[in-house]
Structure 1
């Protein structure tokens, strides 16, 4: 088997959306992808609903923590094949230099962690992000990665986001 692809999901706070991306990429791919997450200004905690969803997916909770994206810009960090921003503010920020020139894309989602409302409305916001991410990641998993070059993969990542909007 070819080594798994590493995929880093970025947002500002690294407490909800990027955490769900990490969890979904790892659990849905059955070893083809290893998901990671980070934030430009991490909140220092993972949102409790994101933790509950990760537990439902069978993801090891001890792997989840809110962390800065600087960890993944260091020379000893895992090599990233893909970097996907999941919030508009992180997409517009100046990112660290990523070794190896990973394929990048922006898949923007509303932040469920800032929803104000009933418990059900907050859960619904998290479930929506989970399902939207799940749809995109499943389409990513269907791509024939070994047959696509860097530019084609970048185009496919953009197309996936457009299809799901």
Structure 2
């Protein structure tokens, strides 16, 4: 049996999807393949997203911004969109079993100085952690009952 692949999508693949990827990877461990991508990737992972996750002990500094097309040939079991635009443009993946939409504000649009921006990054991180933590717990429970 292959490792289930979960793909988290947003538009820019610079903040929300990377935070969700890091949190899911942390919560689910090695039993799942977790990836993130964007419909119009920014080409970088936002430094404040990296910082926000490092504050909770998760390192995404090695992540890179990717286009969703990189995964079209992969066996993706679940697609989770974290913004409305990605939800609208999300293609069907061969073999895809599940699709979820959990929208979050985009912290890349936060205004002010770095510390003011970090307030929004932390809020969105905490919201993602709550939603994806619950999702991961449900997936883990389902595996235990098999």
Q: How many residues align?
A: 142
Q: Which has the higher contact order (CA 8 A, sep 6+)?
A: 2
Could you report, residue by residue, the CA deviation over 1:45-73 in whole angstroms, capped at 9, with x for unpaired residues? 110111223444343532x1111000111
Deviant stretches of 4+, over 4 Å:
none
Q: Do residues 84 (structure 1) and 92 (structure 2) align?
A: no
2:61 aligned partner: 61
Gaps of 5+ in 2: none
User: SS of 1:61's equivalent?
Assistant: coil
CA distance, structure 1, for counterparts of residue 123 and residue 97 of structure 2: 27
Check conservation: 1:11, 1:17, Cα contact below 8 A: yes
Shift of residue 11, structure 1, vs aligned partner: 0.5
Report the equivalent of 1:6.
Answer: 5
- TM (normalized to structure 2)? 0.85
Name structure 1 gaps, 5 residues minimum: 149-165
CA distance 1:34–1:145, shift in 2 (3 Å): same
Deviation at 1:19, TM superposition (A): 0.6
Q: 1:18 to 1:118 in 2, by over 3 A?
A: same
